[in-house]
């Protein structure tokens, strides 16, 4: 890990190297780019993922009433707004001193697992399956969900309908498929009616079955391309995730668990309301995004990996039978190699999707969903912290509220930020594996995006975008003059100026 | 009630003393409006209710009904002007519907949907209007004020308190409260005041209510504002002075 840092994060004489920029690695919520520094022999000396993560939410939420936060901050994202909606709500539960009623907690869980289901389906089927099923340097015009629909119509259909079901769960619990208002400080604003429950029950068995098949697709891809999937962008990392009190996978609530890259426990079941005692954020001059690290290990080596791969590998068990069987197979596969592979994210993601489907099925049979005791409150507090496992990883919301009910301070550490250094490590490995010493092509550059997509659908979403997102790669000489430029146009074609 | 006037080609009966707006609403005929409220004297300031009477444009909320008038309201020429007025109101303040707790219960938003306002159309002014959260139970978010003076009228005419007033002129005109400190906490406003119920937008809000009404249950989720007005007609107060169709009340 340190070796990679030394060799690829800081080049000794960057001014003498050629700079290649993948700019934009566009995405829904902002603008990102990858820069490569190459010498005259095309050897890679530096690779960086820059993400303009500055959204301003932490600033412009200041002064707003606290009950507005769960609705406002979810606008951070159009893919997983529910995660922000619920993390902020959990923080506001602390502000109003609430202990949730069983009905409120179960409806929020239903909403969250609906979110997990739809986001994981979107990520795997819509955004990543074109790379995985066609190949990383396959014909670009077909490398999208439309191409999948033509070549694998049943897979594409299942992906679309899995996501649709998740969105319907969200609509029924939050009021809208995207950016609803269902969760409020201290509870929820509606229950699930008998009619709404029955509507979801009609399809849930099929959804569980399709989710199970999806795990099979992810596993099969890994088996069929074992060397590629094992080694692509592989690196060792510390991990961070939430676990239930009994060590089970729990994506809605729990204590923080951190393990080092050898599996040693750094802390476990840690009360996240004081997360700042174990997690701190570093700043680097070349990225707007902060670099969180585990305090006990320090900023240089304390970075970590979050998300499905970490959660499935680090929990003690998954509390739903079908997903637990899959978790055991995942961990046992090839001596446990998938649990440390960057492309193992996809397999773990599908196991979580199956778990989400099972949780939704169980919750729909729980009569607490039809309860009317929706909101509670207790002694008002000044500070609130909400942590949740969003589709892409651990999400922290932290607010301070004054005596007039106005938010005076806000800190958000989103999944992408937790994974910042880990994503940098992944693309460095890919650069060394595939780009070092070779002539740059679109297919090779797509390898870097494949590594990013394993982590983060917000980046991958826009870079796929049905081939419509423009991508420009500039080759500059040591003096900064443009030597060549490769452009991906809106029709998906990729051409060189020279 | 034998006399009638013509509204968009069909007869509307009226009683002596009624305005064109009052008679139209009582007859179940909708004319878009914002600052008009059946419990208060007509104000004639927002101009949303502008109609053509015998070819001249007038505010229907202040125009006395007369026999034989030829009133035009539901015509594209007037709706285009109304659309522009709503657009200007959106551009003048800071109206962020996605995170506003009044969404779904907001008259300005409902009019925007009803008049098919798809874009602001004007450069946003982004005024700097800090909140007044000093009162323990009431929040004032001046960002959303459209200067309709319904709160001014309600506080003065019904509550007898004069908590609110408008100050300044032209583009600097703004809502103020009646306290030397300028803070709502130093006024004698109460949660039960009429002024708390009439704000058509999200300026005067009871604290800690927020998004407690789910999407689908809010006033304008059910039916557009034009249909709501028809449902609510005749818009008249009951014996205790309450208005069942009060626009600002969720």
Residue A493 has what pLDDT? 53
Residue A498 has what pLDDT? 46
Q: Do A194 and A121 share a structural domain? A: yes
Residue A27 has what pLDDT? 29
Residue B161 has what pLDDT? 96
Q: Comparing A189 with B228, which gets the higher pLDDT?
A: A189
Q: Do B201 and B137 share a structural domain? A: yes
Residue B239 has what pLDDT? 47
* pLDDT confidence tier of residue A54, bands split at 50, 70 and 90: low
Q: Name the range with the highest mean pLDDT among A77-81, A172-176, A476-480.
A: A172-176
Q: Do B198 and B143 share a structural domain? A: yes
Domain end (from A418, A446, A475): A418
Tell me the CATH number at A139.
1.10.645.10
Give the DSSP per-residue string, A387-448.
EEEETTEEEEEEEEE-TTSBEEEEEEE-HHHHTHHHHHHHHHHHIIIIITTS---HHHHHHH
- Average pLDDT (A33-48) is 82
- ipTM for the predicted complex comes to 0.90
Domain that holds residue B9: 4-78
Q: Do B113 and B39 share a structural domain? A: no
Domain end (from A373, A400, A418): A418
Residue A461 has what pLDDT? 34
Residue A52 has what pLDDT? 57
Which residue of B lies nearest to A405 if distances are taken between CA atoms? B133
Q: For residues B220 and B110, is the Cβ–Cβ distance under 8 A?
A: yes
Q: Do A437 and A334 share a structural domain? A: no
B101 neighbourhood in chain A, CB within 8 Å: 67-68, 71
**Distance to chain B for A68, nearest Cα, Å:** 7
Average pLDDT of chain A, as a whole number: 86
Q: Do A308 and A193 share a structural domain? A: yes
Q: Do B218 and B107 share a structural domain? A: yes
**Who among A63, A180, A375 is closest to B131 (CB)?**
A63
Residue A229 has what pLDDT? 94
Residue A77 has what pLDDT? 77
**Who among B98, B134, B214 is closest to A189 (CB)?**
B214
Q: Do B228 and B168 share a structural domain? A: yes
Residue A48 has what pLDDT? 84
Q: Do B104 and B73 share a structural domain? A: no
**A366 three-class SS:** coil
* Domains: count for chain B: 2
User: What is the C-alpha to C-alpha distance for residues A114 and A105, in angstroms, rounded to an integer?
Assistant: 14
Cβ contact A181–B215 (<8 Å): yes
Q: Do B114 and B24 share a structural domain? A: no
Q: Name the range with the highest mean pLDDT among A143-147, A352-356, A464-468.
A: A352-356
Residue A494 has what pLDDT? 53
Give the DSSP per-residue string, B191-232.
TTSGGGT--SSSSEEETT-TT-SPTTSSHHHHS-HHHHHHHH
Domain end (from B46, B78, B110): B78
User: What is the C-alpha to C-alpha distance for residues A55 and A48, in angstroms, rounded to an integer?
Assistant: 20
Angle at which helix A102-121 crosses helix A344-364, to 10 degrees, equals 140
For residue A100, pLDDT beyond 80: yes
Cβ contact A67–B98 (<8 Å): no
Q: Could you read off the pLDDT of A294-325 as tens digits, one per residue?
A: 999 999 899 999 999 999 999 999 999 999 99
Residue A340 has what pLDDT? 92
Q: Do B102 and B44 share a structural domain? A: no
Lowest mean pLDDT segment, chosen from A333-337, A485-489, B108-112, B178-182? A485-489
Share of chain A above pLDDT 70, in %: 85
Q: Do B57 and B121 share a structural domain? A: no
A67 neighbourhood in chain B, CB within 8 Å: 101, 208-211
Structure tokens at A294: 């585990």
Longest dimension (CA), chain A: 70
* Domains: count for chain A: 2
Residue A408 has what pLDDT? 97
Assess A71–B contact: CB distance below 8 Å, yes or no: yes
Domain end (from A402, A418, A434): A418
Q: Comparing B112 with A492, which gets the higher pLDDT?
A: B112
Q: For residues B246 and B237, is the Cβ–Cβ distance under 8 A?
A: no
Residue A460 has what pLDDT? 34
Q: Do A93 and A7 share a structural domain? A: no
* pLDDT confidence tier of residue A30, bands split at 50, 70 and 90: very low
Assess B206–A contact: CB distance below 8 Å, yes or no: no
Residue A436 has what pLDDT? 81
For residue A10, pLDDT beyond 70: no
Tell me the CATH number at B227.
3.30.70.20
Q: Do A424 and A410 share a structural domain? A: no
Lowest mean pLDDT segment, chosen from A439-453, B5-19, B30-44, B191-205? A439-453
Residue B237 lies in a domain: no
Q: Do B110 and B65 share a structural domain? A: no
* pLDDT confidence tier of residue A22, bands split at 50, 70 and 90: low
Q: Do B135 and B15 share a structural domain? A: no
For residue A13, pLDDT beyond 90: no
* pLDDT confidence tier of residue B234, bands split at 50, 70 and 90: low
Cβ contact B131–A65 (<8 Å): yes
Domain that holds residue A301: 57-418
Which residue of A lies nearest to B131 if distances are taken between CA atoms? A63
Q: Do A222 and A154 share a structural domain? A: yes
**A48 three-class SS:** strand
Q: Do A46 and A132 share a structural domain? A: no
Q: Comparing A51 with B237, which gets the higher pLDDT?
A: A51
Q: Which of residues 65-124 of B touch A (CB under 8 A)?
A: 98-99, 101
A179 neighbourhood in chain B, CB within 8 Å: 98
Angle at which helix A153-174 crosses helix A102-121, to 10 degrees, equals 150
Cβ contact A65–B216 (<8 Å): no
Residue B247 has what pLDDT? 44
Average pLDDT of chain B, as a whole number: 91
Assess B222–A contact: CB distance below 8 Å, yes or no: no
Nearest to A241 by CA among A266, A258, A253: A258
Q: For residues A318 and A208, is the Cβ–Cβ distance under 8 A?
A: no
Q: Do A77 and A30 share a structural domain? A: no
Give the DSSP per-residue string, B145-175.
-----HHHHIIIIISS---EEEES-GGG-EE
CA dist A126 → A110, A160, A465, B21, B47 (Å): 23, 8, 10, 54, 49
Cβ contact B214–A63 (<8 Å): no
* pLDDT confidence tier of residue A291, bands split at 50, 70 and 90: confident
Return the DSSP state at A476: E
Q: Could you read off the pLDDT of A429-471 as tens digits, one per residue?
A: 998 888 887 887 878 878 888 888 888 655 433 323 333 344 4
Residue B120 has what pLDDT? 87
Q: Do A325 and A424 share a structural domain? A: no
User: What is the C-alpha to C-alpha distance for residues A396 and A240, in angstroms, rounded to an integer?
Assistant: 12
Cβ contact B215–A175 (<8 Å): yes
**Who among A68, A75, A175 is closest to B101 (CB)?**
A68
User: What is the C-alpha to C-alpha distance for residues A176 and A115, in angstroms, rounded to an integer?
Assistant: 12
- Average pLDDT (A267-283) is 94
- Average pLDDT (B235-247) is 48
Q: Select from A62, A67, A111, A191 the residue whose CB has the most chain B CBs within 10 Å, as the one to mutate to test that interface.
A: A67
Q: Count CA within 13 A, CB hemisphere, residue B178.
A: 13
User: What is the C-alpha to C-alpha distance for residues B141 and B43, in angstroms, rounded to an integer?
Assistant: 23
Residue B250 lies in a domain: no
Q: Do A234 and A146 share a structural domain? A: yes
Lowest mean pLDDT segment, chosen from A90-99, A315-324, A406-415, B158-167? A406-415
Q: Do A461 and A316 share a structural domain? A: no
Q: Comparing A38 with A396, which gets the higher pLDDT?
A: A396
Residue A128 has what pLDDT? 86
Cβ contact B99–A182 (<8 Å): no
A175 neighbourhood in chain B, CB within 8 Å: 214-216
Single pTM value for the model: 0.89
User: What is the C-alpha to C-alpha distance for residues B194 and B158, in angstroms, rounded to an integer?
Assistant: 7
Q: For residues B23 and B15, is the Cβ–Cβ distance under 8 A?
A: yes
Residue A192 has what pLDDT? 98
* pLDDT confidence tier of residue B232, bands split at 50, 70 and 90: low
Assess A376–B contact: CB distance below 8 Å, yes or no: no
Q: Do B189 and B129 share a structural domain? A: yes
Which residue of A lies nearest to B213 if distances are taken between CA atoms? A189
User: What is the C-alpha to C-alpha distance for residues A285 and A129, in angstroms, rounded to an integer?
Assistant: 35
Tell me the CATH number at B61.
3.10.20.740
Q: Do A427 and A412 share a structural domain? A: no
User: What is the C-alpha to C-alpha distance for residues A35 and A47, in angstroms, rounded to an integer?
Assistant: 6
Q: Could you read off the pLDDT of A217-247 as tens digits, one per residue?
A: 999 999 999 999 999 999 999 999 999 999 9
Pairing of strands A407-413, A393-401: antiparallel
């Amino acid at each position: 890990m340190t070796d990679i840092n030394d060799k690829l994060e800081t080049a000794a004489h960057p001014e003498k190297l050629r700079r290649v920029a993948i700019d934009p690695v566009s995405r829904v919520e902002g603008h990102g780019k990858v820069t490569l520094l190459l010498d005259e022999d095309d050897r890679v000396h530096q690779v960086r993922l820059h993400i303009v993560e500055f959204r301003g939410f932490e600033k412009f939420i200041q002064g707003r009433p606290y009950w507005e936060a769960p609705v406002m901050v979810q606008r951070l994202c159009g893919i997983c707004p529910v995660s922000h909606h619920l993390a902020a709500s959990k923080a506001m539960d602390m502000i109003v001193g609430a202990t949730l009623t069983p009905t409120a907690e179960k409806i929020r869980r239903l909403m969250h697992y609906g979110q997990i289901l739809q986001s994981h389906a979107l990520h795997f089927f819509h955004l990543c399956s074109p790379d995985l099923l066609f190949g990383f340097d396959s014909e670009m015009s077909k490398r999208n969900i439309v191409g999948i629909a033509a070549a694998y119509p049943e897979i594409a259909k299942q992906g679309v309908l899995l996501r649709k079901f998740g969105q319907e769960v969200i609509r029924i619990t939050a009021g809208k498929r995207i950016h609803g208002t269902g969760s409020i400080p201290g509870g929820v604003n509606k229950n699930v009616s008998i009619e709404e429950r029955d509507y979801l029950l009609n399809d849930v068995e099929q959804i569980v079955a399709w989710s199970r098949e999806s795990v099979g697709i992810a596993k099969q891809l890994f088996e069929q391309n074992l060397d590629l999937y094992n080694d692509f962008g592989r690196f060792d990392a510390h991990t961070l995730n939430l676990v239930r009190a009994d060590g089970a996978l729990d994506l809605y609530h729990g204590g923080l668990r951190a393990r080092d890259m050898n599996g040693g426990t750094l802390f476990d079941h840690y009360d996240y309301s004081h997360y700042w005692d174990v997690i701190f954020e570093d700043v680097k001059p070349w990225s707007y995004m902060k670099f969180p690290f585990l305090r006990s290990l320090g900023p240089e080596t304390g970075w970590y990996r979050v998300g499905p791969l970490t959660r499935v590998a680090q929990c003690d068990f998954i509390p739903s039978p079908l997903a637990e069987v899959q978790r055991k197979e995942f961990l046992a596969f090839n001596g446990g190699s998938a649990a440390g592979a960057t492309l193992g994210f996809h397999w773990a993601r599908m196991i979580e999707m199956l778990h989400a489907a099972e949780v939704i099925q169980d919750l729909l049979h729980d009569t607490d969903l039809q309860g009317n005791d929706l909101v509670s409150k207790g002694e008002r507090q000044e500070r609130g912290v909400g942590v949740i496992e969003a589709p892409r990883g651990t999400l922290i919301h932290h607010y301070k509220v004054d005596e007039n009910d106005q938010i005076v301070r806000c800190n958000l550490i989103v999944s992408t930020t937790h994974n910042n250094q880990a994503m940098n490590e992944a693309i460095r490995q890919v650069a060394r594996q595939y780009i070092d010493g070779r002539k740059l092509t679109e297919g090779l550059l797509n390898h870097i995006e494949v590594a990013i997509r394993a982590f983060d659908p917000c980046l991958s979403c826009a870079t796929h975008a049905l081939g419509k997102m423009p991508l420009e790669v500039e080759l500059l000489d040591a003096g900064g003059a443009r030597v060549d430029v490769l452009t991906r146009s809106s029709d998906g074609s990729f051409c060189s100026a020279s | 009630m034998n006399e009638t006037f013509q509204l968009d080609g069909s007869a509307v009966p009226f009683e002596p003393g009624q305005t064109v707006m009052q008679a139209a609403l009582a007859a179940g005929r909708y004319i878009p409006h914002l600052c008009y409220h059946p419990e208060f004297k007509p104000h004639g300031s927002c101009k949303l209710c502008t109609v053509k009477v015998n070819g001249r444009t007038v505010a229907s909320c202040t125009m006395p009904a007369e026999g034989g008038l030829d009133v035009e309201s539901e015509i594209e020429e007037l709706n285009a002007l109304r659309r522009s007025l709503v657009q200007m109101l959106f551009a003048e303040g800071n109206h962020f519907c996605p995170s506003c707790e009044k969404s779904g219960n907001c008259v300005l938003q409902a009019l925007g949907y009803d008049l098919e306002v798809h874009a602001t159309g004007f450069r946003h002014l982004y005024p700097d209007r800090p909140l007044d959260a000093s009162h323990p139970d009431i929040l004032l978010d001046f960002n959303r004020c459209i200067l309709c003076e319904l709160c001014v009228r309600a506080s003065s005419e019904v509550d007898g308190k004069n908590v609110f007033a408008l100050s300044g002129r032209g583009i600097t005109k703004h809502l103020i409260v009646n306290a030397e400190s300028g803070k709502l906490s130093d006024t004698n406003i109460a949660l039960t005041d009429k002024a708390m119920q009439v704000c058509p937008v999200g300026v005067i809000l009871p604290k800690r209510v927020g998004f407690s009404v789910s999407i689908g249950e809010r006033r304008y989720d059910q039916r557009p504002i034009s249909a709501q007005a028809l449902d609510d007609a005749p818009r008249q107060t009951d014996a205790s002075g309450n208005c069942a169709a009060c626009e600002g009340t969720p």
